[in-house]
């Protein structure tokens, strides 16, 4: 991707915070795609005997043979537990997300799972709203609402306030679409894709939540490490039962299925 051309297209110096996130995403994607291409070209030459087979190339060859994500690619990619085949599907879908964003503008529904650093988009959303309304950034936050739309294709327009996101999977509970609340996990169903979610920036002092479970959102099913790496944000999920039930069951949302 030509990031300079994209920068000019989205306003140059007057670029919006969310468009800055797109540029950062494209930079990371370009580095990953370039590394994939160069490493495969070098491996092909090594297999022909034109260059020596380094340890890194051996690791690449072994991973490809076993259908696993090569370490040299993994280091430059978003955290994942996917095998090579499902990761490639994810990689190609990310490419479609970025291409659509560049050609058609910011999407009606952002596939949060496709972003390298998803929390940066949510932060940019708050920044843009604060700039528009003159709110202090340190006194603003986000709250979420699960919509009735099952898929991104059902949404025909962008949110008037905030944004719509998709790509969230519920673990440890189910979502009742009729009552719009958390419910007991269905038998033999480990995860359930959540309907489209609306994310709304708001001034912190105006946020009053009742009967709401603040559900942690993680990048993968590994959840997070001791340094909280892997935690993206907390989503507000409506509940008719006591919040402690969902806490004890370890209910969370993840952005990437295994």
- The answer to whether residues 112 and 255 touch, using CB atoms and an 8 Å cutoff, is yes
Average pLDDT over residues 47-62: 90
Domains of the chain, residue spans: 3-106, 112-254
Taking CA atoms, 240 is separated from 29, 147, 182, 190, 235, in Å, by 42, 17, 7, 21, 16
Taking CA atoms, 10 is separated from 30, 65, 104, 120, 184, in Å, by 18, 42, 11, 18, 45
What does the pLDDT look like over 114-126, one tens digit per residue? 999 999 999 999 9
pLDDT band at 28 (very low <50, low <70, confident <90, very high): very high
Determine how many CB atoms are found less than 10 A away from the CB of residue 38.
Answer: 11
pLDDT at 111 over 90: yes
> Of all helices (H) and strands (E), which one includes residue 76?
none
Residue 15 is predicted with a pLDDT of 84
On the question of a common fold for 3-106 and 112-254, the answer reads: no
Residue 35 is predicted with a pLDDT of 95
pLDDT band at 77 (very low <50, low <70, confident <90, very high): very high
Residue 228 is predicted with a pLDDT of 61
The whole-chain average pLDDT of the chain stands at 89
Q: Going by CATH, does the domain composed of 112-254 fall within 3.20.20.70?
A: no
The Cα 1–Cα 17 span in angstroms is 19
Residue 204 is predicted with a pLDDT of 82
CATH topology of domain 3-106: Substrate Binding Domain Of Dnak; Chain:A; Domain 2 (1.20.1270)
Residue 168 is predicted with a pLDDT of 94
Residue 161 is predicted with a pLDDT of 83
- The answer to whether residues 114 and 78 touch, using CB atoms and an 8 Å cutoff, is no
Q: What proportions of the chain, in percent to the nearest 5, are helix, strand and coil?
A: 45, 20, 35
Tokens of 255: 């952005």
- What is the SS3 assignment for 175? strand
pLDDT at 2 over 90: no
Taking CA atoms, 235 is separated from 44, 181, 212, 251, in Å, by 46, 13, 9, 11
Looking at residue 114, the DSSP 8-state letter turns out to be: G
Residue 227 is predicted with a pLDDT of 62
The Cα 203–Cα 85 span in angstroms is 43
What does the pLDDT look like over 219-234, one tens digit per residue? 888 887 656 677 888 9
What does the pLDDT look like over 158-212, one tens digit per residue? 888 889 999 999 999 999 989 989 999 888 888 999 999 999 988 888 888 888 8
């Amino acid at each position: 991707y030509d990031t300079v051309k994209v920068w000019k297209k989205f306003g140059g110096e007057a670029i919006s915070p969310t468009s800055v996130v797109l540029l950062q995403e494209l930079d990371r994607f370009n580095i990953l795609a370039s590394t994939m291409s160069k490493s495969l070209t070098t491996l092909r030459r090594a297999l022909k005997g034109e260059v020596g087979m380094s340890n890194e190339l051996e690791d690449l060859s072994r991973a490809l043979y076993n259908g696993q994500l090569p370490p040299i690619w993994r280091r430059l990619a978003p955290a994942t537990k996917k095998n090579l085949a499902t990761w490639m599907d994810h990689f190609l879908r990310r490419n479609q997300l970025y291409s659509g964003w560049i050609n058609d503008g910011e999407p009606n529904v952002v596939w949060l799972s496709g972003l390298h650093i998803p929390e940066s988009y949510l932060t940019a959303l708050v920044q843009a709203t604060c700039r528009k309304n003159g709110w202090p950034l340190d006194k603003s936050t986000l709250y979420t609402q699960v919509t009735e739309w099952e898929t991104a294709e059902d949404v025909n327009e962008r949110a008037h306030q905030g944004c719509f996101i998709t790509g969230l999977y519920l673990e440890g509970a189910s979502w009742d679409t009729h009552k719009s609340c958390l419910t007991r996990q269905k038998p033999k169903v480990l995860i359930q894709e959540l309907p489209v979610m609306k994310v709304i920036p708001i001034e912190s002092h105006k946020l009053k939540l009742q009967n709401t479970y603040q559900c942690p959102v993680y990048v993968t099913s590994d959840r997070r490490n001791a340094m909280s790496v892997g935690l993206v944000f907390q989503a507000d999920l409506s509940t008719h039962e006591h919040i402690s039930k969902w806490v004890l069951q370890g209910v969370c949302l993840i952005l990437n299925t295994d």
